[in-house]
Amino acid sequence: MERRTFLTGAAGAAAVAGTGALVTPALAQGVMQWKMVTAWPKNLPGPGVAAQMLADRITALSGGRIEVKLYAAGELVPGHGVFDAVSEGTAELYHAVPAYWGSKSKGILLFGSQPFGLRADEQVGWLTHGGGQALYDEMYGRFGLKPFLCGNSGPQMAGWFRTEINSADDLKGLRFRTTGLASEMCSKLGMAVQAMGGRDMFQALQSGALDAGEFIGPWTDSALGYYQVAKNYYWPGVGEPSSAEECGVNLEVYEGLPDDLKQAVTFACESLYNPVWTEYTTKHAQALKQLVAEQGVMVKKLPDDVLIAMGNAAGEVIADLRDDSDELVKRITESFLTYRASIADYMVYADNGQMNARALDYTYGG
């Protein structure tokens, strides 16, 4: 969306002064110009696209009173610097994922994804109906931020591997790219975890600096070309059963808004959650077929003993969070576990039952 052009500069000021008129600056007219910094390359399929959607939607729902200009990773600040940039007031808001902010607090990581944790619908259910949003606000308030979930990738893949995985022993010493609590799970399995951006992951796989890595899923991963350097594409991505995308707004800026603009920002984030999630799901499905048919990608399931080993390691990670020295991290963990237990019991009869029935051998649609 093009930004409005306002009369600026010495020549313009002199012309106005000559007529005796008053200059009415943008802010006085009720128009705020916000900078959105993101963790993504511009228009990267998936998160880069979603970030632009959010910028456009805030501008539209505010009636143009907030004009949001997006800055991709590296244009204003590095991708992993967006949290601090908004906290410190360099920009008004960011688009990223909670999985990147574990150095701030381990409790933050639970709001993005949890190994063997919540699906995309369950994640927003926890925040909306299970008390999670109040804890999310409390944690981010420590850093001068107001957080919102604004999308989700859905279930991620386990990753791209240069060699086959036949047992949990094959994971030991494996140089692997991942983030968030999944990185802690992998470390407990003896993997050499490395954190890096999506483009850097491609280069590391290509050079042999990495043995394997996961980023998001087929739609985004195919755009980054991982299939060119690693043909084994493993599932399920139990490290991230879903991965929530978030918008962080500078808290002072947010609290200074009139109530209707607070609602505009809130609804812009909330209203994008399902469109972003369902776009990922739709395009992941399409991209996976193309990767297999056109690029020779081999889609493989992790052996059950590997998944069980991962589950046990994930359990240790969550136990560590329950014993954290920060009482807020403890409260976040207990809230997450309470919601997970409740929803998991129900899903046996609901979604699990439906999906298992759908997978049976029968004729459907001729």
Confidence of residue 122 (pLDDT cuts 50, 70, 90): very high
Binding residue ranges: 156, 177, 214-215, 240
The predicted structure's pLDDT at residue 15: 33
Q: What is the pLDDT of residues 306-348, one digit of tens each?
A: 999 999 999 999 999 999 999 999 999 999 999 999 999 999 9
Least confident of 26-35, 228-237, 271-280: 26-35
What does the pLDDT average to over 198-227? 97
Q: What is the pLDDT of residues 20-79, one digit of tens each?
A: 333 333 453 679 999 999 999 999 999 999 999 999 999 999 999 999 999 999 999 999
Strands laid side by side in the 244-250 sheet: 66-71, 32-38, 93-96, 244-250, 145-152
Binding residue ranges for substrate: 156, 177, 214, 240
Q: Does the pLDDT of residue 12 top 60, yes or no?
A: no
Q: Please give the Cα distance from 51 to 216 (Å, whole number).
A: 15
Are 46 and 16 in contact by the 8 Å Cβ rule? The answer is no
Domains and CATH numbers, the chain: 31-154+242-282 (3.40.190.170)
Q: 113-151 as b/e, with b when 16 or more CB fall inside 10 Å? A: bbbbbbbbbbbbbbbeebbbbebbeebbeebbbbbbbbb
Least confident of 17-26, 142-151, 295-304, 321-330: 17-26
The predicted structure's pLDDT at residue 366: 81
Binding residue ranges for Na(+): 215
DSSP secondary-structure letter at 360?
S
Are 225 and 202 in contact by the 8 Å Cβ rule? The answer is yes
The predicted structure's pLDDT at residue 193: 98
Q: Please give the Cα distance from 137 to 117 (Å, whole number).
A: 21
Q: Please give the Cα distance from 333 to 341 (Å, whole number).
A: 12
Report which of 80, 222, 205 is spatially closest to residue 157, judged by C-alpha positions. 222
